Amino acid sequence: MNLKKLSLLIFLLLVADQALKIWVKTHMHLDESITVFPDWFFLRFIENNGAAFGMHISTPGGFDWGKLLLGLFRLGMTGVVGWLIYRLGRRPETPKGVLVGLALIFAGALGNILDSAFYGLIFSESTPYTVAHFGGHYAGLMMGKVVDMFYFPLFQWNSVPRFLRFLVDSNNYFFGAIFNLADAYISVAVIYLLLFQFKYLNK
């Protein structure tokens, strides 16, 4: 697979991710839910501050240095993945699966970076009572929130062992995490690369 095809794939993945996020952001109020398939698949709009483990390193003026540092770290890691795609894409022996997997990771990481970098500059703030619109300004550069919407509450699990609590939400629904298309790209790619391309990557 040549670099032009990979670039087109990354572009299409980014367009799909951003189109869905922008539609959700401009058509749903915060925490609104739309049923796709009853009882197990919903579009539920939440926003993620994007700081790992809730990390906040704030000055008295309220600037979140933790979020900025995380954003810069993500940019650096995305650059590394982009460099790998370029380098491996020039080698004829590189499996197509490796390149597609890295393209998914690159598109997913960049998709979430775009949210936190620019959404605060171009949208008004979403609330439980109002839908956001273009032309607002609710945060500065790199201070925006990431849009999440996929919710698959598969079943309730009331007796959850402590070490598995991360797999359920506050209502004890198994797989209660809410995520976006970019997150799905990264998760699918990482699992695929570890299961099917580990020997090549280990070289």
C-alpha dist (Å) from residue 118 to 103, 182, 202: 22, 16, 36
Distance CA 144, CA 157 (A): 34
Determine the angle formed by the axes of helices 3-27 and 65-89, rounding to 10 degrees: 150
The residues annotated with a catalytic role in the active site are 148, 183
Strand partners, 156: 173
Query: How is 73-121 classified by DSSP, letter by letter?
Result: HHHHHHHHHHHHHHHHHT-TTS-HHHHHHHHHHHHHHHHHHHIIIIIHH
Considering Cα of 176, then 119, then 51, then 64, what sign does the dihedral take? negative
